[in-house]
Amino acid sequence: MRLTSFTDIGFRALMRLASAPERAFSTAEIADEFKLSRHHLAKSIAVLANAGMVESRRGGGGGVQLGRPADQIRLGDIVRILEEGQPLVECFSSGDGCTITPVCCLKHYLGDAEQAFLAALDQHTLADCTLTPLEAAR
Amino acid sequence: MRLTSFTDIGFRALMRLASAPERAFSTAEIADEFKLSRHHLAKSIAVLANAGMVESRRGGGGGVQLGRPADQIRLGDIVRILEEGQPLVECFSSGDGCTITPVCCLKHYLGDAEQAFLAALDQHTLADCTLTPLEAAR
């Protein structure tokens, strides 16, 4: 069972933003700190921004910051946003070619398991996994 | 969140085997029915055989059949076997290059969520999702 690297990167960025919610971070700064591709990071942040989890601040000292307090961002919701369009198995997608689907009971159990995964994450918020502030870590 | 196609294929094969536990199926027969690659199917079945979930019968009428009764095969165990070596995120693998890992609390929560996923599946066995016998479906 795998989450995409897209989601993994998004989590890292959110944890960094949560460490200093009052200030904005440039994508380049986060990418350099975590040794990530700026391009991939920017794509994850764009999806998070579209969902309101991150917002951009323009001008001098501009960059991105959390769109709402870290304790109001459930970990399950982060996965729901970043993994959207990633089917657990083939029959969870619109282009399902599985010949069993019409008579398959497994899909239901897999769906329940996916919900259990997300429910477990929903017990925690981004505030529970904030990173050490960048300045303190240096 | 995705399971590999390797796991997906293994599930389909097990559901077919469970529909007629007394007889053996050839890999070609299952692959043709489900329109799967024989090569990919054989690889999944080999892993299941190695774990004792499937066993081979030689000679005339030979092929593969369940290695133990379907009601003794938990769905979570099928995922554990077929997804072995598939890390949920980078830090679940031995080649972890994430710079946050030493101070990251998220890994623990993701691990709990993965366990919740498997525990939900463990509430059911292969006997709960046996396919209609092949003969009846024709």
Q: How do the domains of chain A map onto residue ranges?
A: 5-137
What is d(CA A4, CA B116) in angstroms, rounded to the nearest whole number? Answer: 19
> What is the 8-class DSSP label of residue A13?
H
What ipTM does this complex have? 0.92
- Residue B42 distance to chain A (closest CA, Å): 18
- Of A11, A33, A103, nearest to B106 by CB-CB distance is A11
> What is the reported pLDDT for B137?
56
Which residue among B98, B100, B112 sits closest to A120, beta carbon to beta carbon? B112
B53 touches B73 (CB < 8 A): yes
Instruction: Report the range of poorest mean pLDDT among A49-53, A76-80, B58-62, B66-70.
Output: B58-62
In angstroms, the separation between the Cα of residue A56 and the nearest Cα of chain B is 24
Q: Does domain A5-137 have CATH number 1.10.10.10?
A: yes
pLDDT one digit per residue (tens) for chain A, 138 residues: 899 999 999 999 999 999 999 999 999 999 999 999 999 999 999 999 999 999 998 887 789 999 999 999 999 999 999 999 999 998 888 877 888 888 888 999 999 999 999 999 999 999 999 987 765 555
User: Which residue from B minimizes the CA distance to A98?
Assistant: B34
Using an 8 Å Cβ cutoff, are A18 and A70 in contact?
yes
% helix, strand, coil for chain B, step of 5 = 55, 10, 35
Taking an 8 Å cut-off on Cβ atoms, the answer to whether B83 and A121 are in contact is no
With beta carbons less than 8 A apart as the criterion, state whether B78 and B40 touch: no
User: Side-chain half-sphere of A110: how many Cα atoms within 13 Å?
Assistant: 22
Closest chain A residue to the Cα of B113, Cα to Cα: A117
Instruction: For B5-87+125-137, give the CATH class.
Output: mainly alpha
Interface test with B, best of A3, A5, A83, A125 (most B CBs within 10 A): A3
